[in-house]
Amino acid sequence: MQQKIVLIGGPGTGKSTVLKEFISRGYECMPEISREVTLEAQKEGIDQLFLEKPLLFSELLLKGREKQFIDADLSSEKLVFFDRGMPDVHAYMDYLKTDYPDTYIKKCNEYKYDKVFMLRPWKEIYIQDNERYESFEQAIELDKFLRKTYEELGYSIIDVPFGSVKDRCDFIIKSIND
């Protein structure tokens, strides 16, 4: 039976780096798509789609993450890792105090992950760039919204300890197998 494992956490917590390590170990992984959506919007002249049109940005993310979930269902792999999940979308909307349709929560209840691993804000590795504009303090706030959203949807969150990428991946694999 396949397990869908989602990595969550605020921006700059090391999720994508951990996912790259899982890819190098031969696991199937679904990458974060928000950078792709952001870069596509920038090509069309919208500098920060997330800030300028948060509902459109969120709709595009939700569709993309739903597609990833469906694609994972078609995979024969026993483990599929996701860099962020569908609940992240409305967690961010709540953070922005932006209204969104009930379908967001319905989708999150329709597509359930098997395990949720949270990578916490870590000052030593945090970097801002053209697609990651949040300050470290905002990352801490987003972390709270993400935890609250996943818990409200009934998930038990497993916190990933700070450490090397290898140690973090080993912790996740051990926790899945326990």
| Model confidence pLDDT, tens digit, residues 68-84 | 999 999 999 999 999 99
* CATH number, residue 18: 3.40.50.300
In the sheet with 79-83, reading across from the earlier edge strand, the strands are: 28-30, 79-83, 3-8, 115-119, 157-160
Name the token pair of 140. Answer: 């801490």
Over the stretch 83-97, which tens digit does the pLDDT of each residue have? 999 999 989 889 988
**Which range of residues forms the domain containing residue 102?**
3-177
On whether the pTM is more than 0.85, the answer is: yes
The domain total for the chain is 1
SS3 117: strand
